């Protein structure tokens, strides 16, 4: 399996995908290891995860360079992700005991009713490349703390980072037969589906997510899917500061080169401030330094996957054909890497795939609207349901709009943010189940109800 640097289209290294018999041996080991790991006191499991977090932080620079080299993520954003992902560990330290301890529900007469939360067993985490720390920690750290063993299959575009997770988890005292990183691409991922595991936790595309869910359905084990999105952002005419709204929306659309499940993927603007917003938005995006992701001031690096360049070009051509106007960028950058100009199209409409299909790149469409009713109708016109944002000075007005959204997360005067304190969930084609919050902690256990009569 070739590991390439998307900034230069050169080969970083070649890795051998795991052989099937080694994968099957690993499964047996993990089942054995999990039985012992589940007997560790919760505090001790938490202690190993905290130690892991400390090791990651103490190697932050080196790990950021690995992440940038294999995904093209600008180094400042790699450092931010590694630093920011620590909040998952803090969340576990503050909440795991509360949500995983035995619940003494009732004690009436001679009868007591308890709930014990038992680990699922050995779970597969088939993961993604765009935020490997965030989307990985959301799953495998919560799974480990709950007493599960983890078979972790990183994306083929973030394999080097996946190997670092395994190295530092083992150094932190997580036994080798409790966490293993599996090297391989979709073929290996497919082989993981045939193992007898106790849960499948996936982050990636809708298509692959549905395939995984269908493939393991007969096992009747928990399946969680964190998939893509087509997240809308609506700016009303009463925003306090149009410029600030434009800056926030631009960052939400172009951070990590737009390669984020909760990136702003389409923007609706009141006709009363449309021209002012568009100009402020374009000025902001035009100011983003594009270039070598290893340089600290780069904001836009290469796309991680070369194939996405074609997707962006198709969406741009389709939109122009259907009446959009190109106001910034529009072209693949002639370089050795997978670079695309940050691109802004305006006067868009919902006939365009740009306003309906996931873009997952540095490209955004803006559409004018004349009322909240029109904005709500357009924001709801999607097969996805991850996040939706409204920028307005009026909280009641924003809350009334957000109430109409069929999404797992909504934002008022912010966007593109994930917090471990509240559930992270997708609806419709954006996913199944919740990670983070108490729901994310309980996602990796199964309740056993005890009815005890003295």
Residues that bind ligand TXE (CB under 6 A): 126-130, 153, 155-156, 185-186, 189-190, 193, 203-205, 208, 211-212, 226-228, 261, 358, 360
* CA atoms lying within 13 Å on the CB side of residue 415: 34
155 vs 425, beta carbon nearer ligand TXE: 155
231 vs 284, beta carbon nearer ligand TXE: 231
Token pair recorded at residue 320: 């122009």
| CB-CB neighbours of 101 under 10 Å | 12
**In the bound complex, what is the minimum distance in angstroms from residue 38's beta carbon to ligand TXE?**
26
Judged on CB neighbours under 10 Å (0-12, 13-18, 19+), 403 is exposed
Judged on CB neighbours under 10 Å (0-12, 13-18, 19+), 61 is exposed
77 vs 236, beta carbon nearer ligand TXE: 77
C-alpha–C-alpha distance, residues 428 and 410, integer Å? 15
C-alpha–C-alpha distance, residues 60 and 65, integer Å? 9
120 vs 227, beta carbon nearer ligand TXE: 227
- Find the residue with minimal CB distance to ligand TXE: 189
78 vs 130, beta carbon nearer ligand TXE: 130
DSSP label at residue 258 = G
**In the bound complex, what is the minimum distance in angstroms from residue 259's beta carbon to ligand TXE?**
7
Q: At what angle do helices 42-58 and 75-84 cross, to 10 degrees?
A: 160
144 vs 262, beta carbon nearer ligand TXE: 262
175 vs 408, beta carbon nearer ligand TXE: 408
Strands 431-432 and 223-226: antiparallel
**In the bound complex, what is the minimum distance in angstroms from residue 385's beta carbon to ligand TXE?**
13
213 vs 326, beta carbon nearer ligand TXE: 213
**In the bound complex, what is the minimum distance in angstroms from residue 305's beta carbon to ligand TXE?**
6
Name the one residue in this structure whose structure tokens are 């009026």.
394
Cα 81 to Cα 14, 270, 327: the distances in Å are 26, 33, 31
C-alpha–C-alpha distance, residues 355 and 231, integer Å? 10
Reference 119, options 136, 98, 143; nearest CA is: 143
**In the bound complex, what is the minimum distance in angstroms from residue 130's beta carbon to ligand TXE?**
5
153 vs 327, beta carbon nearer ligand TXE: 153
Phi, psi of 385 (to 5 degrees): -160, 55
**In the bound complex, what is the minimum distance in angstroms from residue 123's beta carbon to ligand TXE?**
14
C-alpha–C-alpha distance, residues 451 and 267, integer Å? 54
Q: At what angle do helices 20-37 and 186-193 cross, to 10 degrees?
A: 60
**In the bound complex, what is the minimum distance in angstroms from residue 360's beta carbon to ligand TXE?**
4
């Amino acid at each position: 399996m070739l590991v390439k640097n998307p900034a230069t289209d050169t080969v970083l290294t070649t890795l051998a995908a795991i052989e099937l018999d080694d994968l099957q041996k690993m499964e047996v080991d993990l089942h054995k290891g999990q039985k012992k790991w589940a007997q560790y006191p919760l505090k001790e499991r938490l202690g190993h995860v905290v130690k892991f977090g400390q090791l990651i932080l103490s190697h932050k620079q080196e790990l950021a360079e690995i992440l940038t080299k294999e995904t093209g993520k600008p180094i400042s954003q790699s450092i931010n992700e590694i630093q920011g992902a620590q909040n998952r560990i803090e969340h576990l330290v503050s909440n795991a005991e509360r949500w995983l301890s035995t619940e003494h529900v009732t004690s009436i007469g001679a009868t007591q009713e308890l709930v014990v939360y038992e680990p699922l067993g050995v779970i597969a985490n088939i993961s993604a490349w765009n935020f490997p720390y965030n989307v990985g920690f959301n799953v495998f750290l919560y799974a480990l703390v709950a007493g599960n063993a983890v078979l972790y299959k990183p994306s083929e575009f973030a394999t080097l980072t996946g190997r670092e997770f395994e190295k530092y988890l083992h150094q932190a005292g997580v036994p080798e037969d409790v966490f293993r990183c599996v090297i391989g691409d979709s073929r290996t991922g497919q082989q993981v589906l045939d193992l007898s595991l106790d849960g499948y936790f996936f982050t990636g595309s809708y298509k692959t997510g549905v395939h995984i869910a269908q493939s393991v359905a007969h096992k009747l084990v928990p399946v969680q899917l964190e998939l893509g999105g087509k997240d809308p952002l609506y700016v009303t005419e009463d925003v306090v500061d149009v410029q600030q709204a434009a800056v926030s929306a631009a960052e939400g659309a172009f951070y990590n080169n737009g390669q984020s499940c909760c990136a702003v993927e389409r923007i609706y603007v009141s006709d009363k401030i449309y021209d002012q917003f568009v100009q402020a938005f374009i000025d902001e995006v035009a100011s983003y330094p594009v270039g070598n992701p290893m340089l600290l001031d780069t904001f836009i690096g290469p796309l991680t996957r070369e194939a996405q360049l074609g997707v962006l070009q198709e969406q741009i051509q389709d939109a122009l054909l259907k009446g959009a106007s190109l106001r910034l960028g529009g072209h693949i950058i002639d370089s050795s890497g997978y670079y695309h100009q940050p691109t802004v199209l305006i006067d868009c409409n919902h006939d365009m795939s740009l306003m309906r299909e996931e873009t997952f790149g540095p490209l955004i469409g803006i559409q004018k609207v004349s009322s909240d009713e029109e904005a709500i109708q357009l924001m709801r016109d999607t097969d996805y349901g991850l996040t939706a944002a409204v920028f307005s000075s009026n909280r009641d007005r924003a809350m009334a709009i957000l109430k109409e959204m069929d999404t797992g997360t909504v934002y008022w005067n912010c966007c593109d943010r994930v917090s471990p304190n509240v559930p992270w969930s997708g609806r419709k084609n954006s996913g199944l189940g919740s990670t983070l919050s108490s729901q994310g902690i309980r996602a990796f256990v199964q309740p056993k109800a005890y009815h005890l009569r003295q």
